[in-house]
């Protein structure tokens, strides 16, 4: 308690909270920030220049900023939240960076917990909202390298470690705000907003790149991509989300470094894939990733099965992504299972074709299950799709053939299936993409819109068509032996 009170009154040991400005570079800073070790190149944007208002910031994020400040720490809104506010957008997340360690943040907030080993961060929960707090990181050389086959125990007590390829395995070396800014990935994410004086600190000319609508990596592109290959995906995601272009030197290594994604865990790649495709810009993002070899490390089977961008299979994927964007714009829910069902539908058709099943044929259940298992198992090597989603994908696929209206009983059973709506939406997209479905989607659309009497009539028509289409089986008569009226042998 005494420790907290001392910090609140006098700041952290060794730091003065209210130093006097001593030079022109820091003269425009609020007094409370002048103790920060800022580089001369930092650009200070005043409230009049940046236009950010506290009314645009989550009240919970402001609570965290103020409590950290009152406890004697420096705290800043950072990254995408600042970037989106400067672009006059509405951020979904508000992240905070501070000179408090994760343990010190945890001590201040009972509603928090420390997560992560590779990169310790603190999650502070306010109901459904989570404010993510990170400690200023410092640059560290790859003095400690860990081979790919080393055990996790080797890194347990390390603050920093790199792989043989230069990938950061541990990043818990803390530093100043200037060091932290240059450890960030792109210039437009190295912008820090503070409620102390309401200024924005721009460490890497990020405001200029925002004005130029440019994605530019901080530092040497190849080195930064090797440190964390997921930055390859983030460059594409931000370019698609913001409709920015990727700066040439930032873009140039993407293709020849795409194989670095092979060192990223399938679980992390699944999470990153969702960020790529479930952020409201799926169609534009997919168009970008198909330009690079990155597709070979996310959806290799899909790329192989859709060489012709004008084919119905490729068109289905495009329509599914467009549909996802439209649903998000309408604040409707989406499920990764539907997205993956569409992305892996072309490989499924190829797997069935290899088993002699054409697009107009109905596969036997064991054959369909075998093909689906093959496609899903292959994809799991790249993105670790949770089982609850793979199960739903299989149901959507299976229902594509069960939605062929045949008998009233089977049709009713398909209609009452829990996944009917998702399977129906998928069927309609297949028709729109140009697949031959013999009008199944149109039939089901009419059936759902009809009243009970009309539905019964449609089902009755199915039965009569089925019965009318059956050929009468002719009863075979035994051959008579001309010499024996009874037909028997002599």
By DSSP bridging, strand 160-163 and strand 214-215 are: unpaired
Residues 147-193: pLDDT tens digits?
Answer: 544 444 444 454 443 445 444 444 558 989 999 999 999 999 999 99
Residues 383-393, mean pLDDT to the nearest whole number: 96
Which of 126-135, 140-149, 192-201, 364-373 is the least confident region? 140-149
Q: Give the pLDDT of residue 172.
A: 58
Q: Which pLDDT band holds residue 369 (cuts at 50, 70, 90)?
A: very high
Mean pLDDT of the chain: 85
CA distance 227 to 223: 6
Q: How far apart are CA 478 and CA 484, in angstroms?
A: 13
Which candidate, 167, 290, 177, 291, places its Cα nearest to that of 231?
167
CA angle 233, 287, 377 (to 5 degrees): 65
pTM to 2 decimal places: 0.81
Q: What is the pLDDT of residue 206?
A: 96
Q: Which residues of 210-228 are buried (b: 16+ CB within 10 A; e: fewer)?
A: beeebbbbbeebbebbbbb
Dihedrals phi, psi of 126, to nearest 5 degrees: -125, 90
Instruction: Measure the CA–CA gap between 487 and 490, rounded to whole angstroms.
Output: 9
Quote the CA–CA distance of 311 and 294 in Å, as a whole number: 21
Axis-axis angle for helices 408-415, 420-433 (nearest 10): 100
**What whole-number distance in Å separates Cα of residue 13 and Cα of residue 73?**
11
Write out pLDDT tens, residues 443-458: 999 999 999 999 999 8
Contact 127, 63 (CB under 8 A): no
Cβ count within 10 A of residue 452? 7
Residue that the structure tokens 């089982």 belong to:
387
pLDDT tens, 45-74? 999 999 999 999 999 999 999 999 999 999
Q: Give the side-chain half-sphere CA count within 13 A for 315.
A: 11
Provide the pLDDT for residue 355.
93
The stretch 430-448 carries a mean pLDDT of 92
- Active-site residues: which are they? 93, 95, 185
- Give pLDDT, residue 41: 87
Give the Cβ contact number of residue 444 at 10 Å: 21
Non-local CB neighbours of 315 within 8 Å, separated by 6+ positions? 433, 434
pLDDT at residue 107 in the model: 95
Strands (E), 277-336: none
Longest Cα pair distance anywhere in the chain, in angstroms? 131
In the predicted model, is pLDDT for residue 468 greater than 90? no
Rounded to an integer, the average pLDDT of 233-246 is 96
> In the numeric block, which tokens belong to residue 325?
């964007």
């Amino acid at each position: 308690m005494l420790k907290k009170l001392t910090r609140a009154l006098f700041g952290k040991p060794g730091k003065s909270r209210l130093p006097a400005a001593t030079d022109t570079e820091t003269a425009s800073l609020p007094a409370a920030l002048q103790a920060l070790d800022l580089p001369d190149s930092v650009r200070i944007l005043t409230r009049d220049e940046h236009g950010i208002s506290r009314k645009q910031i989550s009240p919970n994020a402001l609570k965290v900023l103020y409590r950290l400040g009152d406890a004697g720490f420096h705290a800043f809104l950072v990254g995408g939240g600042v970037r989106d506010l400067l672009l006059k957008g509405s951020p979904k997340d508000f992240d905070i960076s501070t000179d408090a360690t994760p343990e010190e943040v945890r001590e201040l907030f009972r509603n928090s917990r420390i997560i992560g080993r590779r990169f310790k961060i603190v999650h502070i929960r306010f109901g459904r909202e989570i404010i993510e707090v990170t400690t200023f990181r410092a640059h560290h050389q790859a003095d400690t390298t860990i081979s790919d086959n080393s055990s996790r125990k080797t890194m347990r007590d390390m603050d920093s470690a790199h792989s043989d390829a230069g990938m950061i395995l541990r990043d818990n070396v803390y530093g100043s705000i200037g060091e932290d800014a240059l450890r960030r990935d792109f210039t437009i994410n190295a912008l820090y907003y503070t409620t102390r004086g309401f200024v924005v600190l721009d460490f890497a000319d990020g405001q200029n790149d925002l004005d130029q609508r440019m994605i530019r990596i901080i530092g040497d592109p190849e080195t930064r991509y090797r440190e964390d290959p997921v930055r390859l995906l983030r460059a594409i995601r931000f370019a698609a989300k913001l409709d920015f272009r990727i700066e040439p030197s930032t873009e140039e290594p993407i293709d020849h470094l795409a194989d670095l994604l092979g060192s990223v865990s399938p679980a992390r790649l699944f999470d990153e894939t969702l960020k790529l495709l479930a952020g409201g810009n799926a169609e534009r993002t997919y168009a970008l990733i198909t330009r690079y070899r990155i597709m070979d490390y996310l959806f290799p089977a899909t790329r192989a099965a859709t060489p012709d961008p004008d084919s119905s299979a490729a068109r289905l994927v495009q329509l599914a992504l467009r549909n996802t964007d439209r649903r998000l714009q309408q604040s409707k829910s989406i499920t990764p299972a539907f997205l993956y069902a569409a992305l892996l539908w072309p490989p499924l058709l190829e797997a069935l074709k290899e088993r002699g099943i054409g697009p107009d044929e109905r596969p036997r259940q064991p054959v369909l299950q075998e093909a689906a298992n093959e496609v899903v198992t292959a994809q799991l090597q790249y993105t670790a799709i949770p089982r609850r989603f793979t199960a739903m994908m299989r149901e959507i696929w299976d229902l594509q053939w069960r939605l062929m209206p045949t008998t009233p009983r089977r049709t009713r059973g398909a209609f009452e299936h829990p996944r009917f709506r998702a399977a129906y939406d998928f069927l309609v997209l297949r028709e729109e993409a140009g697949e031959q479905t013999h009008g199944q989607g149109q039939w089901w659309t009419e059936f759902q819109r009809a009243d009970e009497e009309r539905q019964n009539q449609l089902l009755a028509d199915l039965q009569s068509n089925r019965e009318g289409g059956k050929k009468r089986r002719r009863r075979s008569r035994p051959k008579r032996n001309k010499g024996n009226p009874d037909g028997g042998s002599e």
